[in-house]
Every structure is written in structure tokens, then in C-alpha cells.
Amino acid sequence: MGTRKERKTGNKINFELTKKLAMAYVGGHSNLKIDMSATPMKIFVDRMKGARVYDLDGNEYVDYMSALGPIIVGHCHEHYVRSLKECLDRMSPTIGSYVLATEKELALAEKLKKHIPCAEEIKFAVTGSEAVQLAFRLARAYTGKRHVIRFSGHYHGWFDNVIGMTMNPEGNGKPYGIESEEDVFATAGKDPEAVKQTFILPWNDIDAVADCLKRYGDQIAMVHCEPIVFNHHALMPLPGFFEKLKVLCEQYNVVMSFDEVITGFRCGLGGAQAKLGVTPHMATFGKSMAGGMPVSLVAGTKEIMGLLGDRTVIGAGTFMGYPLGVAACLATIEILEENNGSVYDEMDRLQERLTSGIREISKQKGIPMLCQGTTGGMTILPGVECRVAYTDADLATLDIPMIFTIAALLQEEGVLTRVGGTFYMTTAHNDDDIDYTLAAFSRAMAKM
């Protein structure tokens, strides 16, 4: 691996291919309103290995974008590739989720139930968005109620009832979120009725939840939240918040559900719920669980998930439990389990090096820089001086344009981050990658 000491003025990228791509696909691929790329140029990938990406123009990058989350064991990990190839040599990637099954499904179920605290029973889906919808259906069927509480800034997929919507300005106790033009997730074409399924409350505000449940608890089926809000500047849960939330949920017969699509298998084999020591009634998984193949999961208590067993609730799909996805999950988890999960300790060590390096370089530049996250990922928060950010009020001094400037400069200097300044670690990152990244960060800061 090159050390990139020779790098001077950033990457050269072929803009022609970007133009052709824009003509081939209207709106690009994932077309949220927020800009998903640090620069207007697409990086055309030639190959990937470990923590590195190589593009068609001959540039090399250390990758923390990690495909927006799924890449947890690095690119083209030998065991992972071998497992997928073995699967494809023996059977079709998908077999119909009906009469045919594979033995690997059994081994995987055992591992998932062992590692995920809330997983008394499990059910596959394909994307994170889909798992969330199945979780909503289960909670409604279980409680006989309709509405869902979710929190400002959290993201749960692209379906009508969860995309966009902001808090009702008339107050927390007022029903439903509202559509707002400023909302980066606002979209035309939604079923207006879908909006009326959701109350949107301020994150970490247990009084707002208590007030909402007091007024509307007889209509609320579920509280669904990101346990660590990677989709909103990695806001952390206030100590005690989830313990109180669980008590409230049980008091009002509401299902407490964690959206672990990002945190699952990224911050530990047991996800955020194991890390935080709070077991929800249900949780949704995706991304890292299969190391890059589309597989998602709903896990929950016997009582809730049992509704699938007697067909009270339907969770249908051609691809559920498909062999290639199962092989991917199994291989990923096997790699993450190595040496009793010590890969996570190594990710922690490297992330700590990265974080303290970034803070030090920023300090020299006179920029306060909170780096917030947990095992497997952290987000840079320029301008923020507090030790932990829990709420939007803690982000009052956050310089959002600076995040995008830093991301663009880092990309020029050969480092890829996720939109919003998140660095996702993988088990493939090593000390060389951290050295390389900190050198790139210094150069990026010098250009600011």
C-alpha cells in the first residue's frame, strides 16, 4: 500500500464520466435532497481492497464512507469473498423463500439470536426501509393501535410514513409531524394519509414522550428511534433516557423499537442495545449485518414476533433468506466473532487515534472539533465545544458548511467520508490508514 507522502495537490478526476452517468440515470441513484457527494465529480471505482478504494483515474483513497455503512470487514475480505463464491458455485443466489432452504440459515439464526439481546425471534427482509415497515406492521398488530412516535432528525428509510416531516410547531403534544419545505427529506408524491401516522418529538426529551403518551397513548403502537443518531450528527442518548422510555412504553402498552440499521454489528455484535445495556422489545437491522449484501432483519420478543408464526401478520418477499445474503451474513459475523470479538477493540483503538489526531490538528487551526460516536463510527462536529452532544441545542455552534468543506477537501486529498462528516471504521483499517488520514486531514486544514 502506498503511503501517499508524494501527494501534493489532490486527485485528478475525469469529469466526462460523471456527465455521462448523469445522462444515463435521471437524478443519480440515491437522490436525497442533501448532497450525497463531497464534490460534483463521481469517483469511478476500479477496485477496492481492505480499507482502500482505487479509481479509474489512478487515485487511491482511504475509505471511511464504507458504502454508507454496510462495509464492516473491509473490501474484498478473503473469507467473505470465499463464502460468497462457494455459495454461487453450488446454487443460485436466491431460491424463493418458500419450499427451499439451506443449512446455513440454521447456523445464522443461532448466531443472530445469541448476539442480539432482543432477538427471541427473527425475520429477514432485504433493505433497512423494508424491515422498518415490517416492524411497524408488527407493532400495530400487537397493540391494536395505529400511530408511531419517532424523533426529529432520525432516519428510518424512504417509505411515505417515515420519510421527511418535522416537529409540529404547535407543540409536542399536537398530533403528527408536519411537512416543511426546509426539510431535506421532504418529497412530493407522498400519500397525505401516511403523514398522519407519526408523532415527531424532540430527541432525548423524556417529558415530551410522557406528555404525548398521556394524551395519545391509547392510539400509539410504537416508539421507533435510532439508539445512537448517526443520521443526525451522532447525537447520543442521555444517560437514563432509554430506561425511562422503556418504563413509559410498558405503562402504555407501546412497543419500544430500536432502529439498528446503522449500529447493528457496527458498534458491536449485540448492536447499540448491548452497548447501552437496554433491551428494546423489537429492533431492525441491515447494512453491516451482511457486510455489503442487502439483507435486513426484524428481531423481537416471542409475543410480538409470534404474530408472524400464526400468520396473523404477513411478512412476504421473494428474496427473504436468500442463500447469497445468508452466506454474506454468516461470513461477516464469523469475521466479527474472531478472538471473542476483539476486532472491535482494535477498531476502538484506531478510532481513538484518528479522533485525537483530528482534534489536535483542528486545535492548532483554532477550530473546536468534537468527534462524536461509538465503536465503528464517529462524526466530526466543527465548532462544537461540549464533551458530548445530546440535543440540537448542543449543536447550536455547529458549522455545517464546514463539514462539507472538510469532506470535499479530504476527498481531494484521498480520504472518503460519509455525507455529514462521518467516518465509518472497518476491521480492515490499520495504523497506516490512520497515518495517511491524519496527513490528509492536515493538508485539508492547511487549505481552509
The CA-CA-CA angle for residues 258, 77, 416, to 5°, reads: 70
Number of C-beta neighbours around residue 446 at 10 A: 11
Distance CA 316, CA 418 (A): 32
Q: Grid coordinates 462544537 are at which residue? A: 384
The full length of the chain comes to: 448
Q: Pick the stretch among 33-41, 123-131, 135-143, 381-389 that binds ligand PMP (CB under 6 A).
A: 123-131
Q: Binders of ligand PMP among 17-36, rule CB under 6 A?
A: none
Least distance CB 260 / ligand PMP (angstroms) = 8
Nearer to ligand PMP, 59 or 204 (CB): 204
Least distance CB 439 / ligand PMP (angstroms) = 30
- Determine whether 89 is exposed, middle or buried from the number of CB atoms within 10 Å of its CB (0-12, 13-18, 19+): exposed
272's grid cell: 447499540
Nearer to ligand PMP, 226 or 413 (CB): 226
Residue 63 found at the interface with ligand PMP (CB under 6 A): no
Least distance CB 118 / ligand PMP (angstroms) = 16
Nearer to ligand PMP, 28 or 173 (CB): 28
For residue 376, which of 399, 355, 360 has the smallest C-alpha distance?
355
Residues 262-301 vs ligand PMP: string with x where CB under 6 A? x-----------------------x---------------
Least distance CB 89 / ligand PMP (angstroms) = 28
Residue 157 found at the interface with ligand PMP (CB under 6 A): yes
The single residue among 55, 226, 394, 433 that binds ligand PMP, judged by CB under 6 A, is 226
By Cβ distance, which residue is nearest to ligand PMP? 128
For residue 291, which of 138, 115, 147, 428 has the smallest C-alpha distance?
428
Q: Which helix (H) or strand (E) holds 206?
A: helix 206-216
**What is the DSSP pairing of strand 377-382 with strand 52-55?**
unpaired
Residue 224 found at the interface with ligand PMP (CB under 6 A): no
**Cβ contacts of residue 198 below 8 Å, gap of 6+?**
147, 148, 149, 150, 161, 162, 165, 176, 177
Residue 180 found at the interface with ligand PMP (CB under 6 A): no
Q: Residue 239: phi, psi to the nearest 5?
A: -50, 130
Residue 227 found at the interface with ligand PMP (CB under 6 A): no
Nearer to ligand PMP, 13 or 162 (CB): 162
Distance CA 113, CA 124 (A): 13
Nearer to ligand PMP, 132 or 395 (CB): 132
Residue 128 found at the interface with ligand PMP (CB under 6 A): yes
Number of residues in contact with ligand PMP under rule CB under 6 A:
13
Nearer to ligand PMP, 283 or 445 (CB): 283
100: left (phi over 0), alpha (psi -120 to 50) or beta: beta
Residue 13 found at the interface with ligand PMP (CB under 6 A): no
For residue 137, which of 341, 348, 331, 298 has the smallest C-alpha distance?
298
The single residue among 138, 261, 371, 445 that binds ligand PMP, judged by CB under 6 A, is 261
Q: Pick the stretch among 170-178, 259-267, 311-319, 392-400 that binds ligand PMP (CB under 6 A).
A: 259-267
The single residue among 18, 59, 129, 362 that binds ligand PMP, judged by CB under 6 A, is 129
The CA-CA-CA angle for residues 361, 362, 366, to 5°, reads: 120
Q: Give the binding site for ligand PMP (CB under 6 A).
A: 127-129, 132, 155-157, 226, 231, 259, 261-262, 286
